[in-house]
Amino acid sequence: MTALHVNQYIALTLSVIMETTAGVLVTVPLRFNIAVKNAALFGSIFVSFMALDYALSGISFSVAYPVWASAGLAFTAVICAAFKAKGLVKAGALGIFLIIAGVMVILFS
């Protein structure tokens, strides 16, 4: 793995973090000024897509997109459950586990 690929995996990680931030901002009732919350929401979405665009320049779409989508979904669900914004039932936890397991199969095959 070259340094360029490492940078693209870092960009993919940043993209997942920013997508998770956007999902939490939408779901969890935080007590921010609405303008600040919206600016943070749109900023995190913008950074997420820019980082994903950079990551896709060196990582296959069939690998990067499922990792980005499933990790963002899983982290958002877990963080929202921690904030008690939405409950995480057993079926939901199993679904998240199966999504991540499927992505790992794609990633390492």
| Cβ proximity of 39 and 93 under 8 Å | no
* Amino acid 85: pLDDT: 62
More confident of the two residues 93 and 30? 93
Half-sphere exposure in the Cβ direction for 86 (13 Å, CA): 17
pTM score, whole prediction: 0.82
Domain that holds residue 55: 3-107
Going by pLDDT thresholds of 50, 70 and 90, the confidence category of residue 89 is: confident
Q: Whole-angstrom Cα distance, residue 31 to residue 50? A: 28
Nearest C-alpha neighbor of 69 from the set 20, 25, 105: 20
Total domains in the chain come to 1
**Higher confidence at residue 46 or residue 69?**
46
At CA 76, angle to CA 53 and CA 95, rounded to 5?
Answer: 100
Q: What is the mean pLDDT of residues 71-87?
A: 81
Average pLDDT over residues 2-16: 86
